[in-house]
Structure 1
Amino acid sequence: IDQVETLDTQGMDALLISPFESASLTPVVSKMYKKGIPVILLDRGIDSEDYTSLVGADNILIGEQAGKYVATKFPEGAKIIEIAGIAGASATKERAEGFRKGIGDETKWKIVASQAGNYLRGKAIEVFQNMLTANPDVQVVYAHNDEMALGAVGVLKRAGKLKDVAVIGVDGQNEAIQSVADGDMAATYVYPRPGAAGLLAALDVLNGKTIEKRIVLPTTEITAENAKDMIGKGF
């Protein structure tokens, strides 16, 4: 919030911002937009329509693809642990919503536990260890990003359970792609970096062009079938 207000004091032609938490940043972002400053949101939305464009992948669609993967690959009754992102962040809410939409029927594919790992590997290890202890017969782990998924892989390896549990992540991180290729993770979903596209969108606005309110960047599902071809193409 302070950084945005400082930039406003210094003078800016456009604001590109990725809201860490939607609710807390909504007022200041809305204020800039209402002052006539083009606002390009990267990755994450705010709790209002006071912005010029939101640039990023469709988190609901990514979550839905992950859910459909589970529904296709695992029998009814499969137990799922979810390692969520930061509570309140739009990406967290959307990746959770999409996943539930993808599995379709939570009575058939049951999410037995869900806790926030805050998109951090260390925090994910902590919360996943507790969820795994309480649910030792889990079959699927759905993590809202690859850092947390890789943390879960480490916990499962140490517990001797990795071969019995499929771990799914989001982002397309190089380490995760390698993990899929090695057979440790089941899948990851590429979240394209929005910086370049966001900058181009801002330049278009400043040059008087009209841009879409929502600019969706494409994703790619990475599984054992294509992981080797994707090695080195992440971040």
Structure 2
Amino acid sequence: MRETTKSLVAVTCAAVALIAAGCGTTSENTGQVRAQDPTKNCHGPNGKYTIGMSQANLAEPYRVRMDDDIRQAAGKVPQFEVQFADAAKDNSKQVSDVENFITKQVDLLMISPNEAAPLTDVVKKAYNKGIPVVVLDRKIDGDAFSTYIGADNVQIGRQAGEYFRNTVLPQGGKIVQIKGLSGSTPAAEREQGFKDGIQGSPIEIVATADGEWERSVGQQKMDALLKAHPDIQAVYAQNDPMAEGAYLAAQAANRNDLKFVGIDGLPIPSGGIKAVEEGRLQATNLYPTGGAEAVEAAKKLLVDCQPVPKSQTLQTQLVTKDNAAEIYARLNQG
């Protein structure tokens, strides 16, 4: 009798599971990702499309530039209207921003997540509702998106590490690292790549601090690092604003001997390329915003009715004083 009861329970549970699957609820309740027709929202060149762009914050110049690049590229596609939201480094606000875009039934979601884990579920929710999703720069967990666009952060970190090993400290030495926001994927990847790049050399990372991607925080953390480790020779900062903040802290401490390397290389007067050209940084590493590429992906999905690759890797380049002026001019053409 007991075995019969167990069998009935099992059959009932299986039936409930099948009914839930038929109703299309299992992907949201169990974390599964629904297969998506990449051209479902495409109505061709005669359609009108609303795009929601959820930005992690606008405190970083890089993110301001990303939004500007999206705005400029979208301005050339008459079918597009882009609505922007600034999460201001607040995961819960970014979740709310994406929920709002879902409620508005945008035709496509663009997002640069503040942190991966807290944004994964809401992005998956949008994707499972049939909204194409373009993820920029920072990743989410899993694969609930149409395309990811960004440079290879491990490669960029490795490129920076190799520059330290070959040029900044070929004889070795002590350095500090100023990381970006710990929960963001570029922070972990740029750290791993950098360690790969200096592997086998006598360079020692004596301390690491979280600079939250911001110049003012980088300056504060560098001030404390200098007091704790006065014998360092150089600084690896995971973006240019933090590198510039560290530079200011070093200047205030009369440490004109220190060397600084950053990442981003924005081609603007206050960006990393000019900082290299003017001698504040020894080098930076180009990290394209992907804004134009995001709009091109949206155009393919919504206007051209074409699929897009799951991942699009943007190219980077080491910027030193030897090539800074040429790269700045090239990136500002047109």
Q: 2:275 aligns with which of 179, 186, 198?
A: 179
The answer to whether 1:85 aligns with 2:197 is no
Match among 314, 323, 327 for residue 230 of structure 1? 327
Over the matched positions of the two proteins, sequence identity in percent amounts to 39
Greater CA drift, 56-65 or 201-210: 201-210
1:1-235 matches, within 5 Å, as 1-73=95-167, 74-105=169-200, 108-162=202-256, 164-173=257-266, 174=268, 175=270, 176-206=272-302, 207-231=304-328
Structure 2 unmatched ranges of 5 or more: 1-94
Displacement after TM superposition at 1:183 (Å): 2.0
Shift of the alpha carbon at 1:181? 1.6
Cα distance in 2 for partners of 1:232, 1:160 equals 33
- Deviates further, 97-106 or 58-67: 97-106
Q: How many residues align?
A: 233
Deviation at 1:110, TM superposition (A): 0.8
- Asked whether the 8 Å contact 1:188–1:221 carries over to 2, the reply is yes
Seen in structure 2, the aligned counterparts of structure 1 residues 231 and 60 have a Cα distance that, compared at 3 Å, is: same
1:137 partner letter: D
Q: Structure 1: which 4+ aligned runs deviate by more than 6 Å?
A: none
1:3: how far off? 1.1
SS of the counterpart of 1:80? strand
Contact 2:244–2:280 (CA under 8 A) maintained in structure 1 = no
Q: How high is the TM-score relative to the length of structure 1?
A: 0.93
Q: Do 1:16 and 1:199's aligned partners in 2 also have CA atoms closer than 8 Å? A: no
Amino acid at match of 1:151: G
Do 1:172 and 1:234's aligned partners in 2 also have CA atoms closer than 8 Å?
no
Query: What TM-score comes out, normalization by structure 2 length?
Result: 0.67
Check whether the contact 2:220–2:249 (CA below 8 A) recurs between aligned residues: no
Instruction: Give the letter aligned to residue 195 of structure 1.
Output: G
SS at match of 1:25: helix
Report the 3-state secondary structure (helix = DSSP H, G, I; strand = E; otherwise coil) of the residue aligned with 1:81. strand
State how far apart, in whole Å, the 1-side matches of 2:327 and 2:231 are. Answer: 31
The secondary structure found in structure 2 opposite 1:150 is helix
Q: CA deviation at 1:203?
A: 1.9
2:263 match: secondary structure: strand
User: Matches of 1:72 and 1:79 in 2, distance apart?
Assistant: 15
Secondary structure at the counterpart of residue 262 of structure 2? strand
Amino acid at match of 1:177: I
Q: CA RMSD in A?
A: 1.6
Gaps of 5+ in 1: none
Cα drift, residue 232 of structure 1: 5.8
Summarize deviations over 1:197-230 as a string: whole Å, max 9, x none: 0111122122331221110111121112112323
The one-letter amino acid paired with 1:191 is Y
AA of the residue aligned to 1:213: K
Moved more, 202-211 or 86-95: 202-211
